[in-house]
């Protein structure tokens, strides 16, 4: 095999990998993701669907911790160290764009995806 052949083969493989990568990025963005941030830092990011069951998941921050469960794609906080318990009172979220925030613990739980029906929500 000549040096030129090897060059071509390597380029083709790299291009293919790029193609797969782009496909992966685009497809990933079409999914519904459960994103949890603690103290403003990413804590976890997992794809969810209407059949997802997860948890209880322990989410820690510098201020305290809480437990999140996912039941058939519906996300809620079941236990929290915060005083006001607003995160528990907020109940379930399941649609892209919805979120639960525990201000005292500085933890946010959001559902994100590209098929969102709003850019943001005023409250």
Report the interface residues with other proteins, using CB under 8 A.
Answer: 4-5, 7-8, 11-12, 14-15, 18, 22, 25, 37, 39-40, 84, 90-93, 95, 97-98, 100-101, 103, 106, 108, 117-123
Q: How far is the CB of 93 from other proteins (least distance, A)?
A: 5
Q: How far is the CB of 79 from other proteins (least distance, A)?
A: 19
> How many whole angstroms separate alpha carbon 87 and alpha carbon 13?
49
27 phi/psi in degrees, rounded to 5: -70, -40
3-state secondary structure of 33: strand
Q: How far is the CB of 68 from other proteins (least distance, A)?
A: 15
Question: In the block, which residue shows the tokens 């999140």?
Answer: 68
């Amino acid at each position: 095999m000549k040096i030129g052949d090897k060059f071509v083969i390597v380029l083709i493989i790299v291009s293919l990998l790029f193609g797969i990568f782009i496909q992966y990025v685009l497809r990933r963005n079409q999914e519904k993701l459960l994103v949890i941030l603690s103290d403003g830092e990413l804590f976890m990011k997992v794809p969810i669907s209407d059949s997802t069951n997860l948890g209880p998941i322990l989410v820690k921050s510098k201020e305290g911790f809480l437990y999140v469960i996912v039941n058939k794609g519906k996300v809620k906080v079941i236990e929290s160290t915060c005083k006001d318990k607003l995160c528990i009172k907020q109940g379930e979220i399941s649609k892209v764009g919805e979120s639960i925030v525990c201000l005292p613990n500085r933890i946010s739980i959001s559902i994100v995806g590209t098929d969102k029906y709003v850019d943001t929500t005023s409250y």
